[in-house]
Structure 1
Amino acid sequence: MFDKVGHINKLQAMVKKLLYILLIFGLSNSGFAQSLQLKFENKLVEHFQKHTWKDVVVTRDSLYSSPYKDKFNVSVSDNYIEFDTTHLVIKNPYFSDKHDDAEEEKDYVKNFPKSFSVIYENSLVTLFENGKFTCFKLENFERNTELENKLNTKKFKYHWIIDNQLGGLSGNSIFLWNGNKWTKFKENFPLKNQPKLFEDNQFIVYGECFGEWGGTVYFFEKSSSKTFFTESTCANSVIKTSKGYNVLAHLGHGGGSAEIKTIPYPTKLTLAKPNEIGKSVNGEALGYTDKSSAFEKKLDFYGLQIFSSFDYQDKVLYIVHLSELTFIAEIKNNEIEIVNPLFFNDLYTHDPITNKYGKYTLMNLDHYGTGLNREISVLIIEGNKITKLDWNENHSR
């Protein structure tokens, strides 16, 4: 009887000790999280204070308040998200000193990818000026030469993911990779030398941008090969929900602007004539001629830019540029809540594109002063891990 009681007492003591350790560990983690939150808040307050009028008091609840008609307020979120950020530089393996020393921009930029990178078979697949693919394994960014050797049996001008397969333009034809060889794609495809914004079973979505003269987002219906359009200046990402297609657009002209249009039924937009696509009308984007009103404006801000939208767990997050800082935020009506400062620098891009590939989100970044319209960097988001990959040299600003 004594041994049994002693054994029970020993177990109770061990349980108490374990609970005590867990409590201390929990308090330690809680204290660490609070410390991160406080550091995060202080840095943001300090940054925005430097970029505002001296007589304006900046607080965590009002880092920036819009002076424009469609007002918004920027604050620090109570729900800080701890993203694990990594910054890498990888040189184009086909890098040419001839291009690097070229005086003409159109030749210098040839060391950057020929088309926007995609994700395929857990690799970043990139096409360069010589028409060859380079593949980098996402787990460690080492070359996937086995995949490269399979793919580089043709020379390509542009590439995409089409119906979940790798597709590329070779000559005047599009080919799909079936896992063993390239086969000719016999369906209609609306793109030749521009990236795709979004694809599902019904539509291929893409856009065009004329800067201050507007932009257009196109919905190519697969079943009919008809194309429907509306204004979007300039579309950078599409998220589909039960309410329709949320098209995010931004423009850097003037003080910057951003908008989200929700399009429930794209076939109710204006139908484009084949000879209208990609053209301007009276000096403005075709999108302005859409009078269908088959959309709802979910967001319309002036004075900032929103470069990207992406799904994270049960919410949508945005990559926002304001006051020489690019950060990650949640947007709740007119409240922009910063959840993470990203790299805490002035990461800037002109016409980015964001696409989702399974568990990965890929954001392609261009920068006109560095590579004209070519991709100079990518952001790869997997869960709470964000990797920024720069081509050839460090592009942080």
Structure 2
Amino acid sequence: MKSIYILIITLFSLTICIGQDKITFDIKEVFLQKKDFKKRKSDFIKKGGNFYEDKDYIVSKSCSGEWGGSIFFKNKKSGIEYSCSATCPVSVNLIDGKYIVTNSLAHLRGSSDIIEIKNPELMSVFKMPEPREIKNGIKHYYTGDTESKSRKGVKEIWNGFGILTLISFEFKEQLYHIISKDAKTFLATIVESELKIINQISKERIWDYAPETFKDEKGNLIVFFNNHSTSGYIEIIGNEIKVTRTK
């Protein structure tokens, strides 16, 4: 049997508040059988296994599902690690000197939020809590005990229920989000703390319990997804968003 190959292209323009520029995203959706996927998650390995890294910090994350999550900023010079509550981190973007962290939790109807961290060193210094008990020299914790409970030094930009976020990415100094809601998937942005839907990406709700973003050899973004309805990946190459998935 030959592979099914269908290509759907949607074009639209979005005027953003940077001068009079118009940004047009080219959205493509390709349906393939899984065996015909050209890219696989196993082909991508993050350098050092870090969630995010720049010249100042090594950033890592943890997630205990509905019991909480955390993001950690470790200062490369001092070795001190700062943290805050984040359930659960999917993307970090540095915009105008501020770290913008996108969180999403695939529990019940789903939820997402975006937080702003101006200075990681204004957050709480992370300290492991006391264990519930110690048996045979092994410390025992309940799920979520080791997650940060602090929001010190953090500003919440937006939050929404019934919404799952797969990835947040910067393009032309503007932050965009690929989100799923109402059984569909959309490209969106945040305007004055409100979610603004720009255009539909797919008629299917594309999401993952633990989405992870990678960069290819050219620096283009790719995020893989797998759920009970569909699986595949989304490539972001400049202003092109290409969805490759099973039907």
AA aligned opposite 2:46: W
The C-alpha deviation readout for 1:195-230, integer Å capped at 9, x for no partner, is 532111111212111111111111122223332211
Determine the structure 2 residue equivalent to 1:286.
Answer: 146
Aligned mates of 2:109, 2:176 — CA distance in 1: 22
Q: Are residues 1:379 and 2:234 paired? A: yes
The C-alpha deviation readout for 1:45-90, integer Å capped at 9, x for no partner, is xxxxxxxxxxxxxxxxxxxxxxxxxxxxxxxxxx884414152556
Q: 2:58 aligns with which of 183, 198, 204?
A: 204
Q: Give the TM-score normalised by structure 1.
A: 0.48
The structure richer in helix per residue is 1
Q: Are residues 1:343 and 2:202 paired? A: yes
Which structure would you say has the larger Rg?
1
The Cα shift of 1:267 comes to 2.4
1:280/1:367 CA distance change after superposition, 3 Å: farther
Question: Match of 1:321, SS?
Answer: strand
1:262/1:200 CA distance change after superposition, 3 Å: same
Count of matched residue positions in the alignment of Structure 1 and Structure 2: 220
Aligned mates of 1:356, 1:80 — CA distance in 2: 22
The C-alpha deviation readout for 1:81-107, integer Å capped at 9, x for no partner, is 4414152556489xxxxxxxxxxxxxx
The C-alpha deviation readout for 1:244-297, integer Å capped at 9, x for no partner, is 211100112232211111111212322234799xx9955325334336x11111
Matched-pair contact (CA < 8 Å) for 1:82–1:340: no
Aligned mates of 1:320, 1:280 — CA distance in 2: 36
AA aligned opposite 1:377: G
What pairs with 1:130-209 in structure 2 (closer than 5 Å)? 159-162=45-48, 196-209=50-63
Q: 2:168 aligns with which of 292, 297, 309?
A: 309
Aligned mates of 1:280, 1:239 — CA distance in 2: 34
What pairs with 1:11-90 in structure 2 (closer than 5 Å)? 81-87=24-30
Determine the structure 2 residue equivalent to 1:333.
Answer: 192
Determine the structure 2 residue equivalent to 1:323.
Answer: 182
The Cα shift of 1:243 comes to 4.4
AA aligned opposite 1:83: D
Aligned mates of 1:215, 1:336 — CA distance in 2: 23
Determine the structure 1 residue equivalent to 2:4.
Answer: none
Q: Give the TM-score normalised by structure 2.
A: 0.73
> Higher RCO, 1 or 2 (CA under 8 Å, sep at least 6)?
2
The Cα shift of 1:313 comes to 2.1
1:282/1:313 CA distance change after superposition, 3 Å: same
Determine the structure 2 residue equivalent to 1:225.
Answer: 79
The Cα shift of 1:237 comes to 0.2
Which blocks of at least 5 consecutive residues in structure 1 are unaligned? Answer: 1-34, 38-78, 94-111, 118-125, 128-158, 163-194
1:90/1:296 CA distance change after superposition, 3 Å: same
Aligned mates of 2:156, 2:91 — CA distance in 1: 15
Matched-pair contact (CA < 8 Å) for 2:58–2:74: yes
Q: Are residues 1:247 and 2:107 paired? A: no
Question: Match of 2:74, SS?
Answer: strand
Matched-pair contact (CA < 8 Å) for 1:237–1:355: no
AA aligned opposite 2:54: D
1:361/1:309 CA distance change after superposition, 3 Å: farther
Question: Match of 2:147, SS?
Answer: helix
Question: Match of 1:212, SS?
Answer: helix
Q: 1:236 aligns with which of 90, 109, 113?
A: 90
Determine the structure 2 residue equivalent to 1:295.
Answer: 154
Aligned mates of 1:230, 1:382 — CA distance in 2: 31
Matched-pair contact (CA < 8 Å) for 2:34–2:232: no
Which blocks of at least 5 consecutive residues in structure 2 are unaligned? Answer: 1-9, 13-21, 131-138
AA aligned opposite 1:272: F
1:272/1:236 CA distance change after superposition, 3 Å: same
Determine the structure 2 residue equivalent to 1:267.
Answer: 121
Matched-pair contact (CA < 8 Å) for 2:129–2:146: no
1:256/1:333 CA distance change after superposition, 3 Å: farther
Aligned mates of 2:195, 2:244 — CA distance in 1: 27
Aligned mates of 2:140, 2:95 — CA distance in 1: 30
1:219/1:281 CA distance change after superposition, 3 Å: farther
Question: Match of 1:260, SS?
Answer: strand
